Amino acid sequence: MRHLAVALLLTLGLAACGKGQSYQALPNDMSLGNKDAKVTVVEYASVGCPICARWDQEVFPAFKAKYIDSGKVHYVFREMLVGGGSEVTVASAGFLLARCAGKDKYFQVNEAIFASQPGVFETPRETLLDIAKSVGMNEEQFNTCVTDEAAIKALNARVEKNAKAHDINATPTFEINGRKMEPGYHALAEIDAAIENAGR
């Protein structure tokens, strides 16, 4: 579990480079699955968070097959910035990159960043540039993307709004139809139980 950190502008070599129910998808949210599903699972997470990466690699594939691909759940991902300097820097650049790649490649980029941990913290620019190239971007497009001041401000605003409006102070935090689970790693069986309870 990683606690929230103040959002930082991109450094460390990357410079060269209306409130309703909280579980309803917002215009800037990225999501997967059936938007009309009876159950909405919101994950507040950071691509720079090691625990989030572990969950993404160990639990998400089975969760996706069982709930998203079957149309039983609408999955909403909300961006957060957590941890120390390198984690925040990687997450900031990573989220900017994912959005520049487009909605159809957003989750592909996120998963590539999760999979690149911990190496991405040692060589953030090189690793993220490789990921950018894998989704069809060139180095100039990557540099423009991760230094876009308007996009950085928008990211920081989303993070701050999510933290305050939904009382999120650590990642990953899962919210099932508005009911928050304890922050941290949860096995699929625990998610199963929360989804079952939400359906009642």
The pLDDT tens digits for 14-24 are 433 333 455 67
Q: What is the DSSP string of 171-188?
A: ESEEEETTEEPPSS---H
Helix (H) or strand (E) holding 161: helix 149-165
Q: How far, CA to CA in Å, does 29 sit from each of 74, 76, 138, 172, 174?
A: 12, 7, 26, 16, 15
Query: Is pLDDT above 70 for 172?
Result: yes
What average pLDDT does range 140-167 have in this prediction? 95
Report residue 122's pLDDT band, with 50, 70 and 90 as the boundaries.
very high
The percent of the chain in helix, strand and coil, each rounded to the nearest 5, is 50, 15, 35
Average pLDDT, the chain: 89
Please give the pLDDT value at position 18: 36
Q: Which residue has the tokens 């990921």?
A: 131
Q: Are 161 and 179 in contact (CB under 8 A)?
A: no
Please give the pLDDT value at position 25: 74
Query: At 165, phi and psi to the nearest 5?
Result: -70, -30
What average pLDDT does range 164-192 have in this prediction? 95
